[in-house]
Amino acid sequence: MLLSRKSLTPRRCLYLASLFCCLVLLAAAHWWWLAHLPIRQLWMPSGIAELLVFLIILVTLVFTQMVDLPKPIYLLLTLGFSLWVMSAGVDVMDEITRQPLWLATWGEDMVRVVGMAITALGFFRLLEHFVRVQGQLEQLAHFDPLTQLGNRRFFQMQAERMQDEGLSLLMLDLDHFKAVNDNLGHSAGDAVLRDLGALLGRSSAPGYPVRLGGEEFAVLLPAMAEDELLHYAEALRLAVAKRLAPQLELTVSIGAATLLPGEGLDGLLSRTDKALYMAKHGGRNQVALAQREEPPLWRQGR
Ligand SMILES: Nc1nc2c(ncn2[C@@H]2O[C@H](COP(=O)(O)OP(=O)(O)OP(=O)(O)O)[C@@H](O)[C@H]2O)c(=O)[nH]1
Assess whether pLDDT exceeds 80 at residue 39.
no
Question: Which one from 50, 95, 108, 215 is the annotated catalytic residue?
Answer: 215
Residue count of the chain, please give it: 302
Where are the domain boundaries for CATH 3.30.70.270 in the chain? 152-299
The total of other beta-carbon atoms located within 10 Å of residue 14's CB is 10
Which residue's CA is the nearest one to ligand 1's atom 28? 178
Assess whether pLDDT exceeds 60 at residue 255.
yes
Which atom number of ligand 1 is nearest to the Cα of residue 173?
23
Measured in angstroms, how far is the CA atom of residue 178 from the centroid of ligand 1? 5
- pLDDT attached to residue 300: 47
Decide: residue 81, CB within 10 A, 0-12 exposed, 13-18 middle, 19+ buried. Answer: buried
DSSP state of 39: B
- The pLDDT tens digits of the residues spanning 133-181 come to 999 999 899 999 999 999 999 999 999 999 999 999 999 999 999 999 9
Mean pLDDT for 18-22 is 94
Rounded Cα–Cα distance for residues 211 and 213 (Å): 5
From 152, 172, 177, the mutation candidate for ligand 1 (largest count of ligand atoms within 8 A of CB) is 177
Contact 286, 253 (CB under 8 A): yes
Measured in angstroms, how far is the CA atom of residue 163 from the centroid of ligand 1? 30
Mean pLDDT for 2-6 is 67
Which residue's CA is the nearest one to ligand 1's atom 29? 178
Element (H, E) at 208: strand 208-213
Rounded Cα–Cα distance for residues 276 and 173 (Å): 8
Taking domain 152-299, whether its CATH number is 3.40.50.300 is answered by: no
Measured in angstroms, how far is the CA atom of residue 174 from the centroid of ligand 1? 8
In the sheet with 287-289, reading across from the earlier edge strand, the strands are 208-213, 216-222, 167-174, 252-258, 287-289, 297-299
Average pLDDT, the chain: 90
Mean pLDDT for 264-284 is 95
Measured in angstroms, how far is the CA atom of residue 250 from the centroid of ligand 1? 13
231 compared with 42, residue with greater pLDDT: 231
Rounded Cα–Cα distance for residues 64 and 58 (Å): 10
| The Cα angle at residue 235 between residues 231 and 236, in degrees rounded to 5 | 120
DSSP state of 247: G
165 is catalytic: no
- pLDDT attached to residue 96: 82
Q: Is the peptide bond before 206 cis (omega within 30 degrees of 0)?
A: yes
Which has the closest alpha carbon to 220: 279, 272, 298, 264?
272
Q: Which residues pair with 255 in a beta bridge?
A: 171, 288
Residues enclosing ligand 1, CB less than 6 A? Answer: 146, 173-178, 181, 186, 189-190, 193, 214-215, 280, 284
- pLDDT attached to residue 70: 93
Helix/strand/coil for 219: strand
